[in-house]
Amino acid sequence: MALAAAILSFRLGWQDYWWDEHVTLMFTQSNWRELMVDYWGLDTHRPVYYGLQKAWNSLFGTGVTNVRTLPVVVTLLLIPIFYLIARRIRRGPLAILTVLLLTSAPMFVDQGREIRMYCLLNLALSVALLLAIILATEARQDEPQSRGRMLALWSGFAASMAFAFYVQAVAAFVALLFALWILVAVIFGLLPLRFLLQALAASLLYIILIIPALLPFLGHFGGTLGGTFWVPEPTASYVYGQTAAAYPYPKWTKPIIGLLLLWGLWSAGRRVPQIALLLALLIFGLPILVYLISFAKPIYMTRVIAWASIVSVLPLAYGLAAFGPVLRWGGLAFVVAAQMIWLAGFYPSEPERSPFAAFAEPLADFDPQTDIFVLGSQIREPPLRWYYPHLFEGASYAFLNGDSQHNVIDPAFRSNFVMRSEASALNIDGDQLFVFWETEFEIPVSDEDSVTKALQTITKDLNPVQTFTEGRYRLDVYDLESD
């Protein structure tokens, strides 16, 4: 635990937020009714993690280190869970090997520092995996099983999977893989028929528990995740890149680590075939299932399949445990070295400074009672609202390139969206006008779709009294009273 805490916390405050994390922070700035009632079906995920992060921030502060400590704490809980999973699978060195591999596993560290819902998803799915393995190992024992214990374990499994679904909708795909595992294992005699009957009863509880989250999920899956969703089509090069990013070991180590993974699954299959089947389905089945779904709804991303990468430490550790002492610890050193090479490039080399934080001095003069704020791209509201919430407490307006880059979270924005063609009708009446815009765009934008002309319409015949730039962002301040 101490080693994992050190790896997860190293230079934690140096890591700047990226856009999705700013979305999390924006939601934490909502009041509780907005967050848990008005926004319940707004995002593609239920606001469970947003609420947890909001409560954490109110207790421990909003500094970068303070905020990022929540996913670190949540992710540390995976250590004892995976230790217990390994102990259930096999006695001996498997548990310690699993924990040593997990502490520096790339996706364990990456998602363990990110203020998104994936750390909580990983925890919920791992609890479900632990309970599934306990149930599967006990189902093959000759001793009679306590009815009360079975009820508690199956109820815990259903509740864990339901909670995971509330945290992130991808848990539904993992539920399908668990169902497939049970069906195949029973058909091939790896698990008794009563296991299937017990699972069917638990599935009814699972369905009942997820009903409040099911309708928003179906709505987003049918609408949001359509042709306008930002995830690219599942081309071979794109899928390879996203999958490789979930296993970002140095290229020269990947063949050996891949063979060790297969060796571990084969070795486990000889002693605990029902567990080996489950691990194989989760590790390979999750990316395959997401890939197949992506032909209808493109959703293939590294973060969606990351839990499968975390689970892969179990067969890797099993393969090492099957070796003699020299190969076992030598192999462990090899895999950990590969993980450490990735870690060396993952940590920030110096404290990262948000480009939005650079505008603190001029924006401190903004008075929401008398001044007007115009945002060239509404998608920049989340970071700006985190650093300068007062900008959106008065008259604030925002444009979008092409008027068409809308997001499902638009109702959570405080700025008023304005069509570019309506820029001339915008009422600019106040003491000062603050215009925040981008001088260049991450994705090239044609002159026809650019917001530049709309901003020029607003500021026609006005001369900025102050101009500030940071990277590709620019802030112009106009004195409306003198003009």
pLDDT tens-digit readout, 419-444:
888 888 888 888 999 999 888 877 76
Determine whether 439 is exposed, middle or buried from the number of CB atoms within 10 Å of its CB (0-12, 13-18, 19+): exposed
Cα angle value 54/56/58 (rounded, 5°):
70
**Rounded Cα distance, 120 and 111, in Å:** 9
CB atoms under 10 Å from CB of 201, counted, come to 13
Per-residue pLDDT band for 22 (boundaries 50, 70, 90) equals: very high
- Averaged over 93-101, what is the pLDDT? 97
Please report the pLDDT score of residue 18 as a whole number.
Answer: 94
Q: Tell me the C-alpha distance between 303 and 326, whole Å.
A: 35
For the chain, the structural domain boundaries read 2-346, 355-479
Q: Which of 67-81, 217-231, 351-365 has the lowest mean pLDDT?
A: 217-231
Q: pLDDT band for 218, please (50, 70, 90 cuts).
A: confident
pLDDT of residue 44 exceeding 90, the answer is no
The proportion of the chain whose per-residue pLDDT surpasses 90, expressed as a percent, equals 77
Where does the pLDDT of residue 297 fall: very low under 50, low under 70, confident under 90, or very high at 90 and above? Answer: confident
Write down the pLDDT at residue 407.
67
Q: Which residues contact 300 (CB under 8 A, 6 or more apart)?
A: 231, 234, 238, 239, 242, 287, 290, 291, 294
pLDDT at residue 33 above 80?
A: yes
pLDDT at 62 over 60: yes
- Nearest-angstrom CA–CA distance, 181 and 187: 10
| Contact status, residue 39 vs residue 159, Cβ threshold 8 Å | no
The predicted model gives 7-16 an average pLDDT of 95
- pTM, two decimals, is 0.94
What number is the average pLDDT over the span 105-122? 97
Residue 94: what residue type? L
Provide the CATH number for the domain formed by 355-479 in this structure.
Answer: 3.40.50
pLDDT in tens, 357-379: 999 999 999 999 999 999 998 98
Of 63-67, 86-90, 382-386, 444-448, the range with the lowest mean pLDDT is 444-448
CB 437 within 8 A of CB 454: no
- Smallest CA-to-CA distance from 365 within 273, 465, 482, 240 is with 465
Helices (H), 11-170: 19-28, 32-33, 48-60, 64-76, 78-89, 94-103, 106-111, 118-139, 147-167
Q: Name the phi and psi angles at 120, rounded to 5.
A: -70, -35
Whether the per-residue pLDDT at 282 is higher than 70: the answer is yes
Residue 445 has pLDDT above 90, yes or no: no
